[in-house]
Structure 1
Amino acid sequence: MSTHSPRQGSGPASVTVTGLAYAWPDGTGVFDGLQAAFGPGRTGLIGVNGSGKSTLLQLIAGDLAPAEGTVRVTGEVGHLPQNVTLGTALRVDEALGIAATRAALHAIEAGDVREENFTVVGDDWDVEERALALLGELGLGDVGLDRTIGEVSGGESVLLRLAALLLRRPDVLLLDEPTNNLDLYARRRLYAAVEAWPGVLVVVSHDRELLDRVDRIADLRDGGITWYGGAFSAYEEALAAEQDAAERMVRVAETDLKKQKRELADAQVKLARRRRYGQKMYDTKREPKVVMGARKRAAQVSAGKHRILHEGRLAEARDRLDEAVEAVRDDDEIRVDLPRTSVPPGRTVLTLRELRLAHGARVEGEFELRGPERVALVGRNGAGKTTLLRTIAGSLAAAGGEATAHVPLRFLPQRLDVLDEEVSVVENVARFAPRATDNQVRAGLARFLFKGARADQPAGTLSGGERFRATLAALLLADPAPQLLLLDEPTNSLDMASVRQLTSALESYEGALIVAGHDLPFLRSLGITRWLLLDGTLRDTPAP
């Protein structure tokens, strides 16, 4: 039996999950007996891709029904899913859910005093003022209530969906990767809204700056939740201490296992000697037959007990080792050697000359990228960062001017749509490196954590993190090797382990790099040498 019970009882808002079981449509189990409770304050829900974070939020919101167990919510729930798009023809007040109230208010102000207008307004006489004030707090003061969604950027539409939730004043707020596609300015507005939230808030995110504003971390792993007090930085310190202790336990357990193996071997040698001695006594008939028979039976019983004792100790040592190994996380890092991507310091890699982009932004005069520079491309949503990268990559025509790459380049788009869904990971990578042998491709893929049968999976069956690694492998193992790599918002929707894997892979990359993004901790981890701001024109800017 399963239940979802919103607005149960009274008192402070809360979420209680009891004995929760859920499986995806293909039968893959996600939760089996999950227990969790979310009280007042801000909780950061983290976990690897595919661990069930978004699914848990949907179960709490009532968008999915559990197979077993209960979800009890005290108070009203507001849910901001990860991938919900608004119709471009929708007006802003409709997106905020206040269109009917506004219409009734305007009718009353115009002299229409019918009862239905007052019923629609209820006690919400200041809804317009509250909506405009909230839009201002979120940096959307220029977005009028009568504009359409088609007139605002993608990042602004995310903030509008958040504003719609905040206007409802729910008791429990669920946010799923809310900073995806938000520029630095919009992120800061969202951070402020999260810090000011008075009720229960559960946020799924890979954004370190956002997670450093929560009160506790809930780590979802293997169908269970481990709780850590404090923000993400405190979680990392606690986890590092746990992993150090777990690795020490592995070493202790390995030493104990070796000891038990030695003791069992020593015991078997001693018992073999006793058997030989008893047989010798029997053969020489130095004692009466009855005495020797009794001695032999006693020795056999003793030997059996001894063997069982040592074999039991050995089994216990193996169990302790297995338990210790299980406690050590296996978040492997990508380590690759990419010397063919190296670019000499003085070499011109990219030239942009009087470039006009398809959507209005431009590069005035001449811009050059030289040597193995690492460039961060920042700017507001809608400024044209993706358009600029696509123009440099040659997948979008310029409105004017020139974009010339002087070295082999590869482009990693936001949508990760460079793989053929129908063929395997090996075949996908082989398409980018046609001169490589099957063994060379597989050896390269092993360094991106695709080993054995994993490399033969069809691309269409990969999880988000696996798809990202396969796409990165296809680009970095390509022939000719890319000496200029263009990345567009590469950390969107990646879990923390995948972000670390990307960072470690790019540490091995020796070519030039242009990364468009808003994830400042990630950008700083890349050793950025130059920051560029696209705001109508392209220009150098100080590091944020």
Structure 2
Amino acid sequence: MPSAPSVVLNDLTFTWPDGDLALDGLTGSFGRGRTGLIGANGAGKSTLLRLIAGRLTPTSGIATVTGTVDYLPQHLTLDADATVAELLGVRAAVDAVRAVMRGDTDPANYDLIGSDGWDLEERAAAELAATGLPADLDRRVDELSGGEAMLAGVVGVRLRGASVALLDEPTNNLDGDARERLYELVRGWRGALIVVSHDTALLELMDDTAELRGGALTVFGGPFSAYRAWLDEQQAAARQALATAKQRLRVEQRDRIRAEAKVARSAADGRKKRANGDFGKAMFDAMKNSGEKSGAKIRGLHAGREAEAKAAVEAADLLIRDDDRITVDLPDPGLARGRRIAVLRSADGREFVLQGPERVALTGPNGVGKTTLLERLVGGEGLLAERVAYLPQRIDTLDESGTVLANVAASAPNTTTGELRNRLARFLIRGDAVDRPVSSLSGGERFRVGLARLLLADPPAQLLVLDEPTNNLDLDSIDRLVEALCAYRGALLVVSHDRGFLERLNLDVELRLEASGNLTTLAR
């Protein structure tokens, strides 16, 4: 007998203050195991987590959680002066234990410690150490890399031991080693876990896969690969059903036309025989009346069959997925194969020259300076290309007060407004959305605007520099980006911890940046 769900959604609706409807009457539930929550950008996944966590209040409906709930957002917004203990959510209890150890007898300290908090500092340090992180709870958060901070945040969620844990894109800033450590945490997770992610390796560790699509929640018993296989089978069957329904409709339309032609010929024959005097008016009128009744019956029969066939086509068509997804077409920058594009310098004095349309991945652990190296290059250090386009991890280079259209037009001054609107539509930015100020956009929308400004530049960039470009893209959009980059005839330098993404780019070279600042060529 299946266990009771951990989260139940009952007619859940949420509308943003500007009137934008995020979720409308969502009903469903999550089990007590590990669930991967997937869906297209803008489907409302992060909003749903915040509603379950109580960070947002539903416009109507309710999200019911069995037990306690804990939530880790995509972006940790702690103050720079915050400590690891605060990141773990144990600062108050740890300080209370320390105060009691110093002789403080304030009853409030004992309330904070509770019955099982006396060894909390030791347990927290042990959890950090087991995950490969420094076990210093007083260390400042700004001394951690983004990946280390996220991993510590996940450790904190596990340490606090809520009944239901919610993680929003926890692997976005993790390098390969850190991802493996996170996977180990997930494998041994106690309690219900709901994870929003596009990391297919993480999704493979889930007991269930839930997809938020078209305002409905579909929960499948199995990891992502099993769900995709099932979905592919369903879509293949739906396409076959649609083809069959269309064929039946064509047959019914042909039969109706033939039947109507037969009725028309019969009526014409009757009129001809009457004109030739083959029978009198009374007999003609009787035959005409009978023929009209028979014709009406035949036409009604075939019209009904055709209507049923049309309804079958419409029903089958509804089962076919035709989701909106970004479409990226990169222009040819006309880059000669022997052209020197950039020089990357290693701390030990060695140089790596990127030339022609080479595809280079820059990898390495969190915190070694990959982003810094990219920023120095884009700033001119070792840059030989005349035109370079840079997409940072966090899109903070947009004009916040300017519209979407104005931001993109700044990189393509010779492209007409109409053409820019057409091209923006391929990035799912349509209609009035192009006239909205950037400051009003969601994180996913901002990323698409940044990506559009980068890839729609005119003249096109000779070198694309991308820092973790898949962090804010759904799985289908990643597929489209891979296709575009594989067809791009310029040079590419990309930083990514998503090994699956890198393996699909047909790389020429992988460079690894070590903590020493040295560059090592892993493949060429």
TM over 0.5: yes
Deviates more, 1:29-38 or 1:412-421: 412-421
Of the structure 1 ranges 520-529 and 278-287, higher mean CA displacement relative to structure 2 is found in 278-287
Q: Residues 279-318 of structure 1: matches in 2 within 5 Å?
A: 279-284=271-276, 286-318=278-310
Give 1:336's aligned amino acid: D
Alignment of 1:44-63 (within 5 A): 44-63=36-55
370, 373, 396: which one aligns with 1:388? 373
Structure 2 CA distance, aligned partners of 1:117 and 1:474? 54
SS at match of 2:128: helix
Corresponding residue number in structure 2 for 1:243: 235
> Are 1:372 and 2:364 an aligned pair?
no
Q: For 1:166-222, what per-residue CA distance to the aligned partner results, in whole angstroms no more than 9, with x for missing partners?
A: 221111111111112222222222111111112111100011111111112111111
Distance 1:106 1:445 in 2: 57
Instruction: Give the corresponding residue for 1:209.
Output: 201
* 1:338 counterpart residue number: 331
Work out which of the residue numbers 67, 70, 74 in structure 2 matches 1:78: 70
C-alpha deviation, 1:489, in angstroms: 0.9
Higher mean Cα deviation, 215-224 or 227-236? Answer: 227-236
- Structure 1 pair 388–21 and aligned structure 2 pair: CA distance change class (3 A): same
SS, match of residue 542 in structure 1: strand
In structure 2, what is the equivalent of residue 531 of structure 1? 510
| Alpha-carbon shift at residue 57 of structure 1 (Å) | 1.3
Aligned residue runs from structure 1 range 417-456, under 5 A: 417=396, 428-436=407-415, 448=426, 453=431
**Pairing of 1:225-236 with structure 2 (within 5 A):** 225-236=217-228
- The residue correspondences of 1:379-418 to structure 2 (distance < 5 A) are 379-394=364-379, 402-417=381-396
Q: Percent identity?
A: 45
- Within 1, Cα distance between the matches of 2:457 and 2:99? 64
**Is 2:454 aligned against 1:475?**
yes
Superposed displacement of residue 116, structure 1: 4.3
- What amino acid is the match of 1:501? R
Q: Which moved more, 1:433-442 or 1:158-167?
A: 433-442
1:235-281 Cα offsets, whole Å, 9 max, x none, are 22222222222222222222222222212221221122122223334
Q: In the alignment, what sits opposite 1:5?
A: none
2:424–2:430: 8 Å Cα contact kept in structure 1? no
Correspondence 1:15 to 2:2: no
CA contact (8 A) 1:350 1:369 kept: yes
TM-score after normalising by structure 2? 0.89
Deviations 1:261-303 (A, max 9, x none): 2122212211221222233344445434343323222322222
- 1:139 equivalenced with 2:145 (yes/no): no
Tell me which residue corresponds to 1:264.
Answer: 256
- Aligned partner of 1:130 in structure 2 is 123
What residue ranges of structure 2 are gaps of 5+ in the alignment?
none
- Give 1:147 shift: 2.0
Structure 1: gaps of 5 or more residues: 1-10, 355-361
Structure 2 contact 204–223 (Cα < 8 Å) conserved: yes
Residue-by-residue CA offset, 1:396-432 (whole Å, 9 max, x unaligned): x7xxxx4232342211122335555666666554432
Give the Cα–Cα distance (whole angstroms) in 1 for the partners of residues 457 and 436 of structure 2. Answer: 19
Q: Are residue 508 (structure 1) and residue 487 (structure 2) matched?
A: yes
Match of 2:501 in 1: 522
| Whole-Å separation in 2 of the counterparts to 1:497 and 1:220 | 14
CA contact (8 A) 2:332 2:460 kept: no
3-state SS, counterpart of residue 350 of structure 2: strand
Q: Answer with 224-233 or 473-482: which moved more.
A: 473-482
> 1: CA distance between counterparts of 2:510 and 2:180?
19
Q: CA shift at 1:455, angstroms? A: 9.1
Task: Give the Cα–Cα distance (whole angstroms) in 2 for the partners of residues 230 and 386 of structure 1.
Answer: 37
Q: CA distance change for structure 1 residues 161 and 445 in 2, over 3 Å: closer, same or farther?
A: closer
**Measured at CA, do residues 412 and 449 of structure 1 come closer, stay the same or move farther in structure 2, by a change above 3 Å?**
closer
Mark the CA change 1:89 to 1:422 in structure 2 (over 3 Å): closer, same or farther: closer
Q: Distance in 2 between matches of 1:129 and 1:491?
A: 37
For these two proteins, the number of residue pairs brought into alignment is 517
